[in-house]
Amino acid sequence: MKTILPFMVGAVIGLIGSAQARPLDAIRSTGVLGLCAHPNSLPFANKAGDPPGFQVELGQALARELGVSLELDWIITRYQMRSAGCDILLDVIADREAQGETNLRISKPYYRTGVVLAVPPASKLTSFKSLDGHTKVGVLVGSFAAMVISQRRVPTSTFGFEIDSLEAVANHEIDAAAVTPTAASYFNLTHPDKALRILDRDESEANLNWNVAVGMVRPDDSLRDAIDGALERLRADGTVERIYRRYGVILQSPK
Amino acid sequence: MKKHLGYFSLPVAVAIGATLVASSAFAQTVDTARIEAAGQNDWLTYHGSYKSHHYSPLAQINTSNVGNLGVAWMHIPGKSTRGVQSMPLVADGVLYYTGSYSRTFALNGATGELIWHYFPELDEALIKRQTHSPYNRGVALGEGKVYVGTVDGRLIALDAKTGRVAWDTKLIDSQKLTVGFTGAPLYAKGLVIIGAQGGEWPGRGPIFAIDAATGKKKWEFLTVAGTDEAMKTWGGDSWRTGGGGGWMPGTYDSETNTLLWGTANPAPLYDWSGADYKTQGARPGDNLYTSSVIGLDIDTGKLKFYHQELPHDAWDFDSAVGEFVMLERDGQKLIVHPNKGGFIFVYDRNLAVKNVWRLVQNINFVKDIDPKTGALIGRRDFTAGKVTDPPLCPFIGGGISWNAGSYSPKTGLYYKIGQEWCMTLDVQKTTPVTSPQVQLNIGADFKMAPPPGGEIYGHLDARDPVTGVKKWEVRYPEPPLGSVLSTAGNLVFVPDSRGTIHAYDAETGTELWNHNNGTGHQGGIVSYSVGGKQYIAVTAGFGGMLADEYGPNFGGIYKSMPRDDGMLVVFSLK
């Protein structure tokens, strides 16, 4: 499976509860849109608020479009989402398989992402295809990228954190890091002295590319329509792009 | 982390008076020699002594009078999220124990009066993000200090007389790695040794040795790929995320100057590589030194010898659990160590396998383990998908859980809890949660299931520790999760999950006494003596990853059993 937000698969005992998400009328009558976000996951979200993360900023923009205020539920796992009572999540994979796992309904996608290679500025690597038996690539443990790259008989080095993988490239321990463009872009923003070259995504490998949408917890049709409409307006006026760019992320259009 | 003098002034004032009452010999220091001698009035280290017998040589309470046992005093630690899981320690009439959040108490062992308490300031936001917290399993004593680990990655030394912080050393970046310390430290030879959590978390399972006097780190051994040889057993550099924490305390063998420690399973927990585990999956290879027992030179932290009980553990049956019972048989010095999979390993003092025997009936993750070599026979490795027929045995809680058994040198018997339960699995190729802070990576959904053709139950066995020959057995409808204590009074105490503490005749298994503490047990039990009077101290309070399974699976009393609550109950003869 693929995730952008770090929602744990596997069993966590004791985190049970029923979703409390509401239809659009209820959201408008209470004046609050609930967003579930990770409390410590910059550039996605940050409970400390400085900066707040692009999910918080986009959530605020969506709430404004709906004429309500944003309320944050800080969660770590998808199980917590069930008892948190939020209405939406951001940066959710717009994929039927992923949707099935989270039981979320999704909006129209609003950008495309996946896995890219981050390499040293002077690297001769140009794409996934240029990897070979002599190039060592940093991958996240158990990730699709780990499986796909290993199947190509490319040596891998396993990491628990994208930033560790990017640091290893910067320190020339490995030749490339297979990471999300979001992580690589934010690394370059926050480590200008170690900035890496980010290669283009390889659309030929379906598992390494995906669209991103707003995930909605049991919405009614009105809420889905309202979210889609708000997103369209925020994309059209450049708000979405501006928010992500503040975190070093250049958005690409969904496919 | 910090104590505020104004807030603590009253307890400290009480402490001085109570200490004088408790013992005039308080100034006696606890050192390696004293722990080695294991004086009968005390309980100086997690496993009772370096020999790990969990046995008290006290006999005032015995088979003839145990029926007169009653509650002497109780202590409520408060804020007991996930129950009370620690092993009390006792020195010179003062009882030390911990509750959740590493809250540490020093109590008059005769009366329960508070001498001092210490509540560390912890990162609450971090604790909320942790899956295995905020419980704590106890302290170590040494050099006039009390040592306690925290779930935010610190080891803290407290003055044993006052509870004031002597030093506070940060050892793990818990903000990044999520894990910290839940197990008790071990004091030996001027060092405090403690292992990080981290079976299912992508770290490298460090074991730290800290100077007991200064708090400075002396050495660190990485249980994942701690040597060049071991690094080759992790395909694709998966050693960077191997897990393998030594989360429970080991022990010290002074004759060989060796620290003995058990290590946890590798991460991710359930690998999907199937029979190709040597070359495929998230962590190809044997994954040294996970699910192993290791011997480290205590002075340097260098690996001396090891035995990997489960190469490429794909079942979460790690070796971090349990005691290292040291005993002699036919002129041989042996170590008996349980594995979570339900087997008991018998080693010589260099960790060479001498025997392997089954404590638990329902085991099918392997067909067997060779008793001469320790080699696994007929492994059951999984690919992604459902595992239902037959279910995997034992359940993830283990055929043997983390709490300790007991060896009585008087009867020559080893008293150990076995757990007969299984589970269905849906193994998944997960994308682990790693950014920005790792989360538990199980890699499967699982559900408790009865053993094929039978029912779930637990049992206390009295067995020969070397051969495994059974002398008697007591059964329980649900597996007990607490520690076991045997005494020279020919008694075996078992605190069970329903909340009843039982006392059995050590020779026959006949129940002689019981008492309902009103909540399940999942912590330690010890015996000690103050002023010539023998006491039995047990922690009570249920909750946590395993205990929370009891309500939905067993119903009954577990549905109404309090959570996030607990106490220390101390018994003496009426």
Which of A1, A9, A159 would you mutate first to test chain B, the one with the most B CBs within 10 A?
A9
pLDDT > 70? residue B321: yes
Residue A16 has pLDDT above 50, yes or no: no
Record the tokens describing residue B177, joined without a space. 């790695």
Q: How far is B281 from chain A (nearest CA, A)?
A: 8
- Chain A nearest-CA distance from B394, in A, is 17
CB contact under 8 A, A158 and B237: yes
Q: With an 8 Å Cβ cutoff, are A146 and B236 in contact? A: yes
In order, the DSSP letters of B393-411 are: SS-TT-SS-SS--EEETTT
- Please give the radius of gyration of chain B, using alpha carbons only, rounded to the nearest integer: 22
Confidence of residue A6 (pLDDT cuts 50, 70, 90): very low
Does residue B18 surpass a pLDDT of 60? no
Strands of B470-476's sheet in order across: B406-408, B413-420, B457-463, B470-476
Q: Which residues does residue B343 pair with via DSSP β-bridges, in sequence order?
A: B358
Residues in chain B: 574
Kindly tell me if the per-residue pLDDT of B419 is higher than 90. yes
Q: Do A141 and B267 touch (CB under 8 A)?
A: yes
pLDDT tens figures, A153-165: 999 999 988 889 9
Averaged pLDDT, A31-47? 90
Q: Give pLDDT, residue B354.
A: 98
Per the CB < 8 A criterion, the answer to whether A22 and B557 are in contact is no
pLDDT averaged over chain A?
86
- Eight-class DSSP state of B243: B
- What's the pLDDT at B216? 98
Band the pLDDT of B77: cuts 50, 70, 90.
very high
Sign of CA dihedral A81, A82, A86, A92: positive
Cβ atoms of B116 and B75 closer than 8 Å? no
> What pLDDT was estimated at residue B175?
81
Would the CB atoms of A13 and B203 count as touching at under 8 Å?
Answer: no
Q: Which residue among B203, B437, B444 sits closest to A40, beta carbon to beta carbon? A: B437
CA distance B47 to B409: 15
Residue A221: CB partners within 8 Å, gap ≥ 6? none
Q: Is pLDDT above 50 for B5?
A: no
Mean pLDDT within B142-147: 98
Chain B touched by A133 (CB under 8 Å)? no
pLDDT band (50, 70, 90) for residue A39? confident
Whether B496 sits among the annotated catalytic residues: the reply is no
In angstroms, the CA B211 to CA B193 distance is 9
Residue with tokens 């994954």: B287
List Cβ<8 Å contacts ≥24 apart for A127-132.
A127/A199, A127/A200, A127/A202, A128/A152, A128/A199, A128/A202, A128/A205, A128/A208, A129/A202, A131/A176
- Strand-pairing partners, residue A158, are A139
Question: Which of B237, B283, B435 has the CB atom closest to A161's CB atom?
Answer: B435
Q: Please report the pLDDT score of residue A248 as a whole number.
A: 95
For residue B394, say if its preceding peptide bond is cis, omega within 30 degrees of 0: yes
For residue A207, is pLDDT > 90? no
For residue B176, name the pLDDT band (cuts at 50, 70, 90).
Answer: confident
Q: Tell me which chain A residue has its CA closest to the CA of residue B204.
A: A160
Average pLDDT over residues B311-340: 97
**From the candidates A1, A141, A147, A210, which should be mutated to test the interface with B, based on the most B CB atoms within 10 A?**
A141
Q: What CA–CA distance (Å, rounded) separates A208 from A149?
A: 10
**B20 pLDDT more than 90:** no
A86 alpha-carbon distance from chain centroid:
18
Q: What is the ipTM of this complex?
A: 0.73
* Higher pLDDT, residue A122 or B273: A122
Residues of chain B above pLDDT 90, percent? 83
Is 70 exceeded by the pLDDT of residue B567?
yes
Give B222's pLDDT tier (boundaries 50, 70, 90). very high
**Token match 């249980």: residue?**
B223
Per-residue pLDDT tens over the stretch B252-265? 999 999 999 999 99
pTM for the complete prediction?
A: 0.85
pLDDT at residue A88, rounded to an integer: 95
H/E stretch holding A242 reads helix A239-245
| Whether residue B23 has pLDDT greater than 60 | no
Of B92, B253, B316, B505, the catalytic one is B316
Distance CA A61, CA B520 (A): 50
CB–CB of A160 and B437 under 8 A?
Answer: no
pLDDT tens digit sequence for B497-543: 999 999 999 999 999 999 999 999 999 999 999 999 999 999 999 99
Confidence of residue B470 (pLDDT cuts 50, 70, 90): very high
Please, which pLDDT band fits residue B199 given cuts at 50, 70 and 90? confident
Q: Would the CA dihedral through B338, B247, B549, B281 be positive or negative?
A: negative
pLDDT band at B304 (very low <50, low <70, confident <90, very high): very high
How far, in Å, CA of A221 to CA of A225, rounded? 6
Asked if B231 is an interface residue toward chain A (Cβ–Cβ < 8 A), one would say: no
pLDDT for B512: 98
Please tell me the distance in Å from B1's CA to the nearest CA on chain A. Answer: 22
Which of B:266-285 have CB within 8 Å of A? 267-269, 282-283
A162: contact with B, CB 8 A cutoff? yes
For residues B451-458, average pLDDT:
96
Residue B300 pLDDT greater than 60, yes or no: yes
Q: What are A180-194's pLDDT values in tens digits?
A: 999 999 999 999 999
Q: Give me the sign of the Cα torsion angle A10, A14, A18, A22.
A: negative
| Greater pLDDT, B115 or A206 | B115
> What string of DSSP letters covers B60-119?
SS-TTTGGGEEEEEEE--S--TT---PBPEEETTEEEEE-GGG-EEEEETTT--EEEEE-
Higher pLDDT, B224 or A205: B224
Question: For residue B428, what pLDDT is reported?
Answer: 74
Interface touch A3/B267, C-beta < 8 Å? no
